[in-house]
């Protein structure tokens, strides 16, 4: 009660004071002043700006004082400053929950309007788009304890400073997409205990300092796609222990080193598509025991360690499309398709220059065995390249009879990522001409009868050589067939699910027949 009375007294004193001063001046001297300036109320209602010269106009769900909750402001002319009286005037609408600034001309807004934000105690969502905000200063959002979402898309932001995003207790979503951010220093993101989603897509990021996400222990989704990141290490990802989804598509990664993602204990989805990855270390995905989806399409992988996925027990989607793989063994993808926890799982392999030979015979068996239509469809799309041999001629004969070739996949769908992205049109035309003359067209693997898959002597030799011998990693890397490994696995006591049998049909070739067994 007393407090209320004091408040009233203080308030009345404050409102009386300026009138007293003014009247004092009025009675003494009468300077020639612009009366209209003084009559203008200090705080105008931002939802009801009648001055046509105002640089900012807002559209509100209610124009009445203190009633607007959703406010869209438009800035049409340049020159608005941090000290413009319009910013403190946002106190005229203290109920604002959603605030948007849309900028229509270059350089019209060059800073985060902190003087508006600091007065809005109910603000939950703020969005600023198409402004020219080069840097985000420390505590730019004035330590708001109510803001949940900040969207700063397309604002030409290049520099994030230490504590740019800090002390925002409720902040859950932050989007910095489509800016020019080059590096992420430590402590840019600080004390954001509720940040779950961070988007940094389409920036100019090439340098991620070690520990730059260290304080984001509750982050669930991180998007770093379409940047210039060429290296990713464990130290950069330190602290992201609750991360579930990491998107690194469209970057410049060339390799993935051992344990790069091992800080991310809870990761479920890892997207590495459209990089230039040539090499993946044997333990690159070590520690990712919960990973469900791994996508690596559009890279430059020529081989894949058989053990790379061995630790991952939950993988249900593996995408290896549009790489440079010349073969792939059953052993490599076994953790995916034999994942008993999964109701359905799928492996995508199309768009690789796989060689049409007996090392791919497992694909036939798996296709016949699986009841999962997604996996079946994905396997049916696998194409391979033949060397000029019997199969090719046979197929061509059949095609001649049928009039058109259903087995040939058009060239356009068989361009590799690097060709698409990095070659000029002229070079590409060149490439196609050369390809037409010298290389074979990819054919659908499953259109070749399995018994006609070539199995040249050298290939058989390398497979047979490894029978009975302890398999060295070096040999495994050389790829060949899951078949020899299966043999090895059965030697060491693991029951193979596919039981290949081979017999001589003609000199130099083996005919393969597969019987699919149940787990023994």
Using CB under 6 A, list all residues that contact ligand NAG: 21, 24-25, 31, 118, 139, 142-143, 148-149, 158, 167, 172-173, 180, 182, 197, 204, 206, 218, 228, 241-242
Q: CB of residue 144 vs ligand NAG: minimum separation in angstroms?
A: 9
For 294, phi and psi rounded to 5 degrees?
-130, 120
The token pair that represents 277 in the structure block:
């990855």
What is the smallest separation between the CB atom of 125 and ligand NAG, expressed in angstroms? 6
Please identify, using beta-carbon distances, which residue of 266 and 456 lies nearer to ligand NAG: 266
Closest alpha carbon to 450 in 328, 354, 327, 362: 362
Block residue for tokens 């344990």: 259
Q: How far apart are CA 424 and CA 111, in angstroms?
A: 40
Here the tokens at position 490 are: 């059965």
> How many beta carbons lie within 10 A of that of residue 148, not counting itself?
18
Return the number of the residue (152 or 328) whose C-beta is nearest ligand NAG: 152
Give the residue with the Cβ less far from ligand NAG, 209 or 444: 209
- Residues 200, 176 contacting (CB under 8 angstroms): yes
Of 197 and 385, CB closest to ligand NAG: 197
Shortest Cβ 241–ligand NAG spacing (Å)? 5
Angle, CA of 408, 411 and 414, to the nearest 5°:
95
Q: How far is the CB of 37 from ligand NAG (least distance, A)?
A: 11
Distance of closest approach, residue 158 Cβ to ligand NAG, in angstroms: 6
For ligand NAG, the closer of residues 27 and 50 by Cβ is: 27
Q: What is the DSSP string of 388-411?
A: SSHHHHHHHHHHHHHSS-SSBPPG
Please say which residue, 78 or 218, places its beta carbon nearer to ligand NAG.
Answer: 218
Nearer to ligand NAG (CB atom), residue 142 or residue 155? 142
**Tokens representing residue 196 in the block:** 């779950």
* Shortest Å distance, C-beta 227 to ligand NAG: 9
Asked whether 318 and 348 are in contact (CB, 8 A), the reply is yes
Instruction: Kindly tell me which of 287 and 351 has the beta carbon lying closer to ligand NAG.
Output: 287
- The nearest distance, CB 24 to ligand NAG, in angstroms, is 5
How many beta carbons lie within 10 A of that of residue 10, not counting itself?
10
Strand segments (E) across 181-265: 183-184, 189-190, 197-199, 207-208, 221-223, 245-247, 255-256
- Smallest separation, CB 400 to ligand NAG (Å): 52
- State the nearest-atom distance from the C-beta of 183 to ligand NAG, in Å: 10
Which is nearer to ligand NAG, 166 or 345 (by Cβ)? Answer: 166
Which C-beta is closer to ligand NAG: that of 31 or that of 403?
31
Closest CB to ligand NAG among 54 and 69? 69
Strands (DSSP E) contained in 147-266 are 149-151, 159-160, 165-166, 173-175, 183-184, 189-190, 197-199, 207-208, 221-223, 245-247, 255-256
Closest approach, Cβ 251 to ligand NAG, in A, equals: 11
Beta-strand ranges (E) seen in 115-260 are 125-129, 135-136, 149-151, 159-160, 165-166, 173-175, 183-184, 189-190, 197-199, 207-208, 221-223, 245-247, 255-256
Q: Token pair for residue 428?
A: 């590409």
CB of 229 to ligand NAG, least distance (A): 10
Environment class of residue 244 by beta-carbon count within 10 Å: exposed (0-12), middle (13-18) or buried (19+)?
middle
CA 227/CA 440 separation, integer angstroms? 35
């Amino acid at each position: 009660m007393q407090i209320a009375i004091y408040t009233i007294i203080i308030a009345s004193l404050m409102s009386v004071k300026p009138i007293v001063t003014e009247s004092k001046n009025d009675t003494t001297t009468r300077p020639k002043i612009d009366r209209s300036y003084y009559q203008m109320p200090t705080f105008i209602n931002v939802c009801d700006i009648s001055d046509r010269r105002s640089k900012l106009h807002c559209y509100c769900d209610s124009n009445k004082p203190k009633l607007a909750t959703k406010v869209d402001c438009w800035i049409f002319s340049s020159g608005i400053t941090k000290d413009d009286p319009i910013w403190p005037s946002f106190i005229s609408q203290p109920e604002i929950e959603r605030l948007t600034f849309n900028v229509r001309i270059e350089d019209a807004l060059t800073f985060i309007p902190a003087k508006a934000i600091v007065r809005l105690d109910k603000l939950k969502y703020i969005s600023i788009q198409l402004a020219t905000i080069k840097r985000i200063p420390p505590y730019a959002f004035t330590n708001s304890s109510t803001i949940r979402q900040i969207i700063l898309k397309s604002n030409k932001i290049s520099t994030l400073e230490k504590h740019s995003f800090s002390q925002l207790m409720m902040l859950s979503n932050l989007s910095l997409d489509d800016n020019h951010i080059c590096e992420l220093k430590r402590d840019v993101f600080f004390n954001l205990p509720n940040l779950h989603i961070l988007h940094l897509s389409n920036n100019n990021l090439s340098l991620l300092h070690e520990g730059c996400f260290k304080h984001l222990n509750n982050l669930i989704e991180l998007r770093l796609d379409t940047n210039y990141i060429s290296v990713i290490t464990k130290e950069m990802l330190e602290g992201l222990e609750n991360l579930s989804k990491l998107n690194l598509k469209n970057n410049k990664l060339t390799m993935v080193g051992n344990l790069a993602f091992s800080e991310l204990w809870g990761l479920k989805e890892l997207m590495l598509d459209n990089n230039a990855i040539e090499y993946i270390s044997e333990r690159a995905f070590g520690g990712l025991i919960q990973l469900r989806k791994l996508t690596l399409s559009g890279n430059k992988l020529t081989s894949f360690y058989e053990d790379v996925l061995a630790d991952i027990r939950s993988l249900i989607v593996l995408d290896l499309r549009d790489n440079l793989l010349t073969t792939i063994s059953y052993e490599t993808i076994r953790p995916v398709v034999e994942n008993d926890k999964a109701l359905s799982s799928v492996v995508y392999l199309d768009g690789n220059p796989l060689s049409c030979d007996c090392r791919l015979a497992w694909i036939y068996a798996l296709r016949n065995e699986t009841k999962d239509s997604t996996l079946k469809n994905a396997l049916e799309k696998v194409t391979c390249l033949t060397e000029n041999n019997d199969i090719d001629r046979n197929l061509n004969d059949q095609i001649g009879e049928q009039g058109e070739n259903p087995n040939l996949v058009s060239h356009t769908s068989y361009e590799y990522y690097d060709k698409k992205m990095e070659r000029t049109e002229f070079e590409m035309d060149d490439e196609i001409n050369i390809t037409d003359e010298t290389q074979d067209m990819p054919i659908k693997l499953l259109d070749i009868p399995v018994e006609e898959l070539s199995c040249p002597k050298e290939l058989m030799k390398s497979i047979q050589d490894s029978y009975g011998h302890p398999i060295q990693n070096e040999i495994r890397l050389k790829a060949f067939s899951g078949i020899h490994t299966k043999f090895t696995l059965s030697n060491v006591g693991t029951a193979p699910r596919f039981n290949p049998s081979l017999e001589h049909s003609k000199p130099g070739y083996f005919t393969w027949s597969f019987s699919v067994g149940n787990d023994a």
